Amino acid sequence: MMQRAESADKTPVLDSPVEVKRTICSHCSVGCGVYAEVQEGIWTKQEPAFDHPINRGAHCAKGASLRQHGHSTRRLKYPMKLVAGEWERMSWEDAVNEIGDKLLELREEHSPDSVYWLGSAKFSNEQAYLMRKLASLWGTNNTDHQARICHSTTVAGVANTWGYGAMTNSLNDMHNSKAILFIGSNPSEAHPVAMQHILIAKERNNCDIIVADPRFTRTAAKANKYVRLRPGSDVAYIWGLLWHIFENGWEDNEYINQRVYGMDEVRAEVANFPPSVVEEVTGVPEAEMFDVAKRLSDNRPGCVVWCMGGTQHTTGNNNTRAYCILELALGNIGVAGGGANILRGHDNVQGATDLGLGCDSLPGYYGLAEGAWQHWAQVWDLDYEWLKGRYDDTEYADGKPMYSPGITVSRWVDGVLEEDENISQRTALKAMFYWGHAVNSQTRGVEMQKSDAEARDDGHR
Ligand code: SF4
């Protein structure tokens, strides 16, 4: 394993042998390859990987600064403790003992659910798996990571459509696309190295690039067609496209008959979205809707690409479901150059979710039913009854804590502030354990506390 400099004071011997370690940029989900040059255990230089299929020798500014993060003078190098308003250095042994003892005390006094184990979409698969295992052996489902607030809507929408919540094809496969619809995604800025593959599709395959977005983004500047839609009107927009597709018989009937269940119900629902209704909801006139529907129909295979602009809505699940249905109607799933391409935020949103670092499932989407626990107890070589004994046995309105979802990361503030009698666990949270996740994922704590208290005073809680 590559070691960070033991001491920032130690000057690396620049003519000592160079070891090249291959790694992956830890900033975003594009996953660019990195060559890290290491001398005497110190990361001295960095190059983008030229033979990597995704970045092919490119980096964006974030990736190019990767090494500096490892060496930043602002980086925490050892455990620190706040004592009388001042940060004091402490030894690892004292830190582990002090934190461990305190958490065990809380567990003893208030039940295992009083501690929240917050992991990260920056974890490797292995780390995500172990964090879930740690929470399980501690005896709580109060564990989660960033995907809850960025892409869990995608998992629900995509998995409910074709069984598994993930991007269907690679950036390299998008070179084969004839049309790409971006909705809620702006890769020119958010996933810049991914954008080179889009431009390859455009230049080499004459791919029609369509951007639907309330803002004219830098990606829109590279598009063949830009459509401005009202924020939050994605479902009506997609239904409006489908209205024209069905009206003109542009759907892929052979594909639908062979592979799709339920398209007749979609057709009946889409009939409620004629151009006048769609224009009222989305702000997009009929001629614009027709034009995009025709482009997508004339240019197959094609992809739909989305990101946080599609997911972070109260209707996020519906949005992602609608994007998938559009692709199924056009026969675009399961073919080269066709697909649902979900550009995630962090570098391992998918893996951390698959490996069960969430409050509602054990690794591999096993859920929390008794059979799932028995399976994982066996995998972990643990006695199931012992594992069961780690959890609080109280029966709450939504079941026993072991078999019901824990608190999501999006609601941890409520988990802390809520009165004990209003929460489906013995007490509110007494400790948050953060690892690879910022505390400020929920900002404006004071205001949240105030609105929580006001809601309670008004009898809403
Ligand atoms: S595009 Fe993403 S993975 Fe690639 S260098 Fe930039 S931040 Fe890193």
Length of the chain: 461
**Domain boundary residue among 24, 39, 71?**
71
Q: Are residues 52 and 192 part of one domain?
A: no
**Under 8 Å between Cβ of 343 and 303:** no
As a whole number of angstroms, the distance between CA 372 and CA 352 comes to 18
Q: Is 193 in the pocket of ligand 1 (CB under 6 A)?
A: yes
Q: Is 55 in the pocket of ligand 1 (CB under 6 A)?
A: yes
As a whole number of angstroms, the distance between CA 107 and CA 429 comes to 11
Q: Are residues 277 and 165 part of one domain?
A: yes
Q: Is 437 in the pocket of ligand 1 (CB under 6 A)?
A: no
As a whole number of angstroms, the distance between CA 207 and CA 237 comes to 21
For residue 350, being part of any structural domain is answered with: no
pLDDT of 176: 97
pLDDT of 398: 83
Q: Are residues 159 and 276 part of one domain?
A: yes
Q: Is 157 in the pocket of ligand 1 (CB under 6 A)?
A: no
For residue 369, being part of any structural domain is answered with: no
SS3 326: helix
For residue 449, being part of any structural domain is answered with: no
β-strand partners of 210:
181, 225
For residue 457, being part of any structural domain is answered with: no
Nearest residue by C-alpha to atom 2 in ligand 1? 28
Ligand 1 pocket test, pick from 26, 52, 62, 186 with the greatest ligand atom count within 8 Å of Cβ, gives 62
Q: Are residues 306 and 179 part of one domain?
A: yes
pLDDT of 414: 87
**Domain boundary residue among 327, 342, 357?**
342
Query: Residue 273 contacts by C-beta under 8 Å, 6 or more apart in sequence?
Result: 236, 239, 240, 242, 243
For residue 6, being part of any structural domain is answered with: no
Query: Residue 1 contacts by C-beta under 8 Å, 6 or more apart in sequence?
Result: none
For residue 263, being part of any structural domain is answered with: yes
Ligand 1 pocket test, pick from 185, 191, 344 with the greatest ligand atom count within 8 Å of Cβ, gives 191
Q: Are residues 177 and 35 part of one domain?
A: no
pLDDT of 441: 66
Find the CATH number of the domain harbouring 330.
3.40.228.10
For residue 314, being part of any structural domain is answered with: yes
Average pLDDT across each block of 10 residues of the chain; the chain has 461 residues. List them in order. Answer: 45 79 92 94 93 95 90 89 96 97 98 97 95 98 92 89 91 97 97 96 97 98 98 98 98 98 97 98 98 98 96 93 98 97 90 93 96 98 98 91 94 88 92 89 72 68 53
Q: Are residues 159 and 63 part of one domain?
A: no
Q: Are residues 316 and 226 part of one domain?
A: yes
Give the residue numbers spanning the domain of 60: 12-71
Q: Are residues 57 and 163 part of one domain?
A: no
**Domain boundary residue among 325, 342, 359?**
342
**Under 8 Å between Cβ of 35 and 46:** yes
Q: Which atom of ligand 1 is nearest to the CA of 347?
A: 3
What's at 34, amino acid-wise? Answer: V
Ligand 1 pocket test, pick from 50, 193, 198 with the greatest ligand atom count within 8 Å of Cβ, gives 193
Find the CATH number of the domain harbouring 28.
2.20.25.90
Q: Are residues 331 and 198 part of one domain?
A: yes
Q: Are residues 190 and 333 part of one domain?
A: yes
Expressed in angstroms and rounded, the spacing between residue 186 Cα and the centre of ligand 1 is 14
Q: Is 28 in the pocket of ligand 1 (CB under 6 A)?
A: yes
Q: Are residues 66 and 156 part of one domain?
A: no
For residue 274, being part of any structural domain is answered with: yes
Domain count, the chain: 2
Q: Are residues 333 and 214 part of one domain?
A: yes
Ligand 1 pocket test, pick from 25, 29, 195 with the greatest ligand atom count within 8 Å of Cβ, gives 25
As a whole number of angstroms, the distance between CA 288 and CA 220 comes to 15
Nearest CA to 303 among 191, 182, 165?
182
Q: Is 25 in the pocket of ligand 1 (CB under 6 A)?
A: yes
**Whole-number Cα distances in Å, 217 to 53, 122, 210, 353, 408:** 26, 27, 12, 30, 32
**Under 8 Å between Cβ of 143 and 113:** no
